[in-house]
Chain A
Amino acid sequence: DGGITQSPKYLFRKEGQNVTLSCEQNLNHDAMYWYRQDPGQGLRLIYYSQIVNDFQKGDIAEGYSVSREKKESFPLTVTSAQKNPTAFYLCATYRMAGELFFGEGSRLTVL
């Protein structure tokens, strides 16, 4: 079955550490997105990529980094520069004229 796999589902980080969230898709969709979700807020866009080796900053890119070396993969690194990284992170893919397909999300908690 085609889908989006995010891992890990739960992640704990100590302050000052970088962590990487994985997002893999086998839907053959060109575009991939990372969103952050906080309680009481909608989804806020961190980064998105329309094609391999290209990506754009979203509304809240500071303290995050991404790469897109393969069509199937779009990992998100939460760096120590991100002041408040505790949140729920959603990866999504998009096909032209379609809709967003979401992974199951990753919950990051800073200890």
Chain B
Amino acid sequence: AQTVTQSQPEMSVQEAETVTLSCTYDTSENNYYLFWYKQPPSRQMILVIRQEAYKQQNATENRFSVNFQKAAKSFSLKISDSQLGDTAMYFCAFKTDSWGKFQFGAGTQVVVTP
């Protein structure tokens, strides 16, 4: 079975600071995709960033970047220069290369304070 673990239920960060969210996963497959989704208070799920397992280079989207460690099965998200609008629940998700299910972690609530 494939599992995704987010060990930090909640994190608080001040504006302009940096916060890192952890995510580990377990799979025996070699080809897969990893994602971070954001769910603000509106509850609309928004894709933050994605990473293909075959790419060694870590993905970056503006202030969001990942640290993908394939051997360690780790996929952390770094939010730089945090803004109040970053306050949201963040979910790590995983999918194998074939058709099928996405597996989600339990989420990390990020609170950005002034």
Interface set of A (CB-CB < 8 Å, partner B): 31, 33, 35, 40-45, 48, 50, 58, 88, 90, 92, 94, 96-97, 99-100, 102, 104-105
Total inter-chain residue pairs, C-beta < 8 Å: 46
Interface set of B (CB-CB < 8 Å, partner A): 4, 6, 9, 33, 35, 37, 42-45, 47, 50, 91, 93, 99-102, 104-107
Q: Which of A45, A96, A102 contacts B101 (CB 8 A)?
A: A45
Residues from chain B with Cβ under 8 Å of A100 in the complex: 35, 37, 45, 47, 93, 102
In the complex, are the beta carbons of A41 and B43 less than 8 A apart?
no
Residues from chain A with Cβ under 8 Å of B104 in the complex: 35, 42-44
Within the complex, the shortest CB–CB distance from A63 to chain B, in Å, comes to: 19
In the complex, are the beta carbons of A31 and B106 less than 8 A apart?
no
In the complex, are the beta carbons of A33 and B43 less than 8 A apart?
no
In the complex, are the beta carbons of A43 and B91 less than 8 A apart?
yes
Residues from chain A with Cβ under 8 Å of B50 in the complex: 99
Residues from chain A with Cβ under 8 Å of B91 in the complex: 42-43
